[in-house]
């Protein structure tokens, strides 16, 4: 949650505004955040519950991603070179891809499950 505060604070200070603090409570803690080039949009992963959340207002409010079944997502990664793409991985062979900063998600399959070691689970 500290990271969310820093994004909002930096945005406000750059525009000469005072930051506003807003508390958002999740059932479980958000263990992974993905920032996009457009800093107002964030993705957050509740790894315990396998839930994916999205914010389009610098983290002030969050909605659960409805394109992906609850409990499926175990890992979340931003594409290293494409600023609007992210991957939501599962323990199986069907995963999810967004090309619009989490606005919509398309399924994709891999022949094997993602590796559990290293930073490149699909490599």
Q: Which pLDDT tens digit goes with each residue over 5-59?
A: 444 555 555 666 666 667 777 777 788 999 998 889 999 999 999 999 999 998 8
Percent of the chain with pLDDT over 70: 76
Round to whole Å and give the CA distance between 14 and 117.
39
pTM over 0.75: yes
Structure tokens at 78: 């931003």
CA 72 vs. chain centroid, Å, equals 14
């Amino acid at each position: 949650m500290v990271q969310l505060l820093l994004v909002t604070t930096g945005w406000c200070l750059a525009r000469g505004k005072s930051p506003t603090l807003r508390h958002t409570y999740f059932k479980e803690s958000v263990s992974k955040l993905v920032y996009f080039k457009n800093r107002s949009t964030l993705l957050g992963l509740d790894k315990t519950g396998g839930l994916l959340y999205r914010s389009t207002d610098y983290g002030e409010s969050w909605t659960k991603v409805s394109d992906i079944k609850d409990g499926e997502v175990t890992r979340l990664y931003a594409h290293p070179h494409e600023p609007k793409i992210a991957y939501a991985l599962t323990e199986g062979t069907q995963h999810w891809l967004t090309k619009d900063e989490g606005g919509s998600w398309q399924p994709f399959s891999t022949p094997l499950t993602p590796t559990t070691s290293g930073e490149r689970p699909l490599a």
